[in-house]
Structure 1
Amino acid sequence: MKSRAVRMYGADDLRLEEFELPEIKDDEILVKVISDSICMSTYKLAKQGKKHKRAPQNIDTNPIIIGHEFAGDIVKVGSKWADQFKPGQKFALQPALNYKGSLASPGYSYEFFGGACTYCIIPQEVMELGCLLNYDGESYFEASLGEPMSCIIGGYHANYHTNKQNYNHAMGTKTDGNVLVMGGCGPMGLGAVSYGLCIENKPKRLVVTDISDDRINRAREVISEETAAKAGVELHYVNTATMKDPIAELMAITDDHGYDDVFVYVPIKQVAEMGDALLAFDGCMNFFAGPTDNQFKAEINLYNTHYTSTHLLGTTGGNTDDLIEAIDLASKKLIEPAVMVTHIGGIDSIAEATLNLPNIPGGKKLTYTQFDMPLTAIDDFEELGKTDSLYQKLSDSCKRHKGLWNSEAEKILFEHFGVN
């Protein structure tokens, strides 16, 4: 079977090509990829090429398929897995394999296994680890976004709190506490806000910072304070760039209690230090943002660590349980992964979008791999719709859904391009 895929041959060398897939083995599964969202981690991979820790050294002759946030349909099942998977099933995927100590991962390491393609082959280790998941949700894009949402969920679960009676750690964010999401009006931050409004151990108050009024205004449009109030959470969006004394003013929002859980979503030294300064007694700060500088450092108040029991940790990725939770919540409409998405494109847009990702404004770039389509901002649909009926339909659909990408819009695309 032929596949069309974006393959990496080296640093800054991504190529959209058609090639022949080998026949699957008895312990492999052939899948049709429908959606693949672009991750900043793939940009980092593309910039580093062979220097990336997950990239094979022979990519110049055996290129790998990029993309790891993908979903689609199972096409053919090897005999080993025939009792667990059937052709026609929708799937979601946990790409963090960690198989027998190997760093190999889809989208980074495999010649025939990645998300930026029409078809790919899932190797046996994925099923052995339980990382290929059945997906019953209505839309494919929410399964693709299950991977970034699982990272967010993993961060919430990894935070912890202590007590003075014993040495047991209470895992997760503090119930009825104050949560601070710093740099939180980007795609991942908005995912964190959406999740924070539906968890069992809800915070009393959720404060989201940014330094851009435009990003704050969009965040407020997709997750309003009124929506949060209906969920029983007091939500605040604040622009710290306009504050004379950000620490004092952020503390005042909590009546000077401080923040029980802080998530740092941007790799900026001053932001991390501010987050540390805002911790309450027994507060936990999760440095979620992934810096590219392996010497990135910030000053942490160890006096507070000693006397007021503050904690510092960092999380990257989520586990399979987090992904299961993410797709379950999305399928039940309890979270809205669509708050992360600002651009839609086809397979032909992936290479350029990946290589220029930091320079493209907005949030998540969601692509559909079974057709060609320019990467297009959802905000541009209305203008394009004046001369193109497809964009008019997409614009109308998104307007019916708070300006967000949605399952109806996905179906409009599929009908237009003949995806079935």
Structure 2
Amino acid sequence: MAWTDAAARTALEMIFKAAVASADPRIVLARHLPEPPAGGRVVVVGAGKSAAVMAAAVEDAWPEVKLSGLVVTRYGHGHPTRRIEVLEASHPVPDAAGAAAAERILAAVEGLTPRDLVLFLVSGGGSALTTLPAPGLTLDALMAVNRALLASGATINEMNCIRRHLSAFSGGRLALAAAPARVVTLAISDVPGDDPAAIASGPTVPDPTSFAEARALVAHYRMDLPAAVRAHLEKAADETPKPGDPRLGAVDYRFIATPRMALEAAAQAARGFGLTPLILGDALEGEARELGKTMAGIALSASAHGHPLPAPCLLLSGGETTVTIGAEGGGRGGRNSESLLGCAVALAGAPGIWALMGDTDGIDGSEDNAGALITPDSLARARAAGMDPRAVLGRHDSYSLFAKLGDLLVTGPTLTNVNDLRAVLVA
């Protein structure tokens, strides 16, 4: 196959779409449902960017089952449902609507019996969408914490450790509220390693972390947190339920989509274009621009030496990187566009290499794009447009560069989320 810019763009976009489709709840959820209870109630609750479409998938799979409940999703991520109420709230910075939704979800699962079933539908974004302050804290304080977390450089698992110890909803507290009902969680994973305690901060599973660990992370990243939050962490009066806590009962946690599944779907699509895929990992973390640089180095090795595999090939990775913003602040751009610009700078215009990096939920950070694409002449086109790619990278303004080049990947909300997908095509 003759690899032109147009052919490479088409292939990369189709591969990205295949990964997203593999995590579509309308396709994959039904096979993971438990048997409905005989004679008991079914209460469906949920939180995350995919919560509304997951609720609709439950309704379609159980047309004759009597059920009720509500889910909360991000503004603009709603989906029509018939029996399950859909609420919307803010993400990534929480708001009062999310706190109210968390309170209503807790109320919906109270007073149940062992004959009843609580079906919890969880996906990425659930933490921010159910930010319910622990006693003695305010929503304003948790909003300040969330901003500090997003700017800290902490990993998603580290962020969720802190969130769980400031919440009245996360860290197993939803499962405690639902006891003694049976709780089954259907999850779309967006975290490295698919740790149930990290997905939406684990509302239905035991919390293996402690207040002491949360305090250590705050100190390590030198987070400037409100005094009331620091006092709450120091007091450590209401520890989350730990593994083995009898109040939670047997944990039934089922993954319906994960980053690894999406990467496998992307690899299969790559083979259809005559590319040999190599999955470098589904849980790669670190500074976004540095991971982009690393993927560029592997691509250059494949192009020049045929290692770790010969061209034509596709290098794939998943996971969630971080962007650490310095005191000078930053421009516009999410972790995928920043990682991609770091990759482009490292490639330095090498011929025969194209790349796409995007968030499978369709939203890269807080912008309107899923990510972006690069071609061998991206840097030259940027300079011709009066932009210095290295300077743009230094001020975290990758969105502006790719917007000027017309190389943003814009999908709109995909209503699923299995984290980031990075694909580098070496011809």
Please indicate, yes or no, whether the TM-score normalized by the shorter chain is above 0.5: no
Higher strand content, 1 or 2: 1
Higher helix share: 2
Scaled by the length of structure 1, the TM-score of the pair is 0.30
